[in-house]
Amino acid sequence: MEPVKNTKDRIVWHKACHVEDIPEDGGGCALIEGKQIAIFNFARRGEWFATDNQCPHRQQMAVARGMIGSQDGEPKVACPFHKKTFSLQTGQCLNDDAYRINTFPVMVRENQVYVGL
Partner 1 sequence: MREQNTTNIIVIGNGMVGYKFCEKLLSKQKNDLVFSITVFGEEPRPAYDRVHLSEFFAGKTGDDLTMASMDWYSKNGIRLFLSDPVVDINRQEKLVRSHHGHIVHYDYLIMATGSGAFVPSIPGVEKDGVFVYRTIEDLELIQSYARKAKNGAVLGGGLLGLEAAKALLDLGLQQAHVVEFAPRLMPRQIDDAGSKMLQNQLEGLGLNIHLLKSTQEIKGGDTIEGMQFADGSFLEVDMLVISAGIRPRDELAKIAGLETHPRGGIVVDNMLTTSDPNIFAIGECALAHHMIYGLIAPGYEMAEVVATYLTGGTKEFLPFDMSTKLKLIGTDVASFGDPFIEEPACKTIRYENKAKGVYKRINVSIDGKELLGGILVGDAEQYNMLLQTCKSKTILPPDSEDLILGSRGGEEASAATSVGGVMSLPDDALICSCEAVTKGMICQEVSENGHTTIDAIKKCCKAGTGCGGCLPMVKDIIQGVLKQNGVYVKNIICEHFDYSRQELLDLVKINGIRTYNGVLNHFGHGDGCEVCKPLVGSLLASLWNENILQKDRAPIQDSNDRYLANIQKGGTYSVVPRIPGGEITPEKLIVIGQVAQRYGLYTKITGGQRIDLFGAHLNDLPAIWEQLIAVGFESGHAYGKSLRTVKSCVGSTWCRFGVQDSVSFAIEVEDRYKGLRSPHKLKSAVSGCVRECAEAQSKDFGIIATEKGWNLYVCGNGGSKPQHAQLIATDVDKETCIRLIDRFLMFYIKTADPLTRTATWLNKMEGGINYLKAVVVDDVLGIGEELEKNMQALIEVYKCEWKEVVESPELRKRFSHFVNAPIKDPNIEFETMRDQKKAKEWV
Contacting range for partner 1; rule: CB under 8 A; set: 4-12, 92-100, 101-109: 92-100
Regarding 28 and contact with partner 1 (CB under 8 A), the answer is: yes
Is the alpha carbon torsion for 17, 61, 24, 77 positive or negative?
Answer: negative
Q: Which residue in 35, 36, 100, 116 binds partner 1 (CB under 8 A)?
A: 36
- Interface with partner 1 (CB under 8 A), residue total 45
Q: How far is the CB of 2 from partner 1 (least distance, A)?
A: 21
Distances (CA, A) of 15 to 45, 94, 95: 22, 30, 32
Smallest CA-to-CA distance from 84 within 49, 108, 60, 116 is with: 60
Is the alpha carbon torsion for 109, 111, 116, 117 positive or negative?
Answer: negative
Residues interacting with partner 1, by CB under 8 A? Answer: 16-17, 21-32, 36, 39, 42, 44-45, 58-62, 65-73, 75-76, 78, 80-83, 85, 94-97
